[in-house]
């Protein structure tokens, strides 16, 4: 038994917990998105769909990275999470009116600049999405540095 092994094991366990946290956030977000569209029948706009395209696969990719634990999982999951965050930020700017209406890529049925939900006066769907993607990115970066080289 060499002396660094227990420490490497703990480091890997912490990394596992961080990836597990990221998976949990992704799963809650994916189920939440499904709840909004399938149960509350709020039709997702085009930008929402692009964010879903980034979020849904994370549930599966991160789960497969957990069993057996693959410390390279961040490498595969981060590009999706970063893309999702960029789209969410674009969506937020569009809603805030920073980006003009004319360049919004949405059909007239469901404009992306429309707020379908406003909880407590400030929580909107793209805001939840941006928070979720940021959390996942932070957890995955932490997991990457925690896992033993």
List of residues contacting other proteins (CB under 8 A): 16, 20, 24, 27-28, 31, 34-35, 39-43, 63, 66-67, 69, 109-110
Q: How far is the CB of 86 from other proteins (least distance, A)?
A: 27
Q: How far is the CB of 14 from other proteins (least distance, A)?
A: 12
Is 109 in a helix, a strand, or coil? coil
Q: How far is the CB of 89 from other proteins (least distance, A)?
A: 26
C-beta of 116 vs 134, nearer to other proteins? 116
Angle at 133 between CA 99 and CA 72, to 5 degrees: 135
Number of CB atoms found within 10 A of residue 104's CB: 17
C-beta of 90 vs 95, nearer to other proteins? 95
Q: Provide the token pair at 75.
A: 């490498």
Dihedral of alpha carbons 34, 40, 42, 43, sign? positive
CA distance 111 to 70: 40
CA distance 140 to 147: 10
C-beta of 100 vs 109, nearer to other proteins? 109
Q: How far is the CB of 108 from other proteins (least distance, A)?
A: 9
C-beta of 102 vs 107, nearer to other proteins? 107
């Amino acid at each position: 038994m060499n002396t660094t092994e227990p420490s490497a094991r703990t480091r890997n366990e912490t990394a596992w917990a961080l990836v597990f946290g990221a998976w949990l956030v992704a799963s809650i977000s994916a189920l939440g998105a499904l709840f909004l569209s399938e149960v509350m029948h709020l039709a997702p706009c085009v930008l929402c769909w692009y964010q879903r395209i980034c979020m849904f696969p994370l549930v599966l990719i991160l789960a497969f990275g957990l069993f057996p634990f693959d410390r390279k999982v961040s490498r595969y999951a981060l590009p999706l999470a970063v893309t999702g965050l960029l789209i969410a930020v674009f969506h937020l700017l569009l809603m805030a009116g920073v980006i003009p209406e004319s360049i919004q890529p949405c059909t007239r049925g469901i404009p992306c600049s429309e707020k379908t939900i406003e909880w407590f006066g400030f929580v909107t769907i793209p805001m939840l999405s941006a928070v979720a993607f940021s959390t996942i990115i932070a957890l995955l970066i932490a997991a990457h540095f925690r896992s033993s080289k």
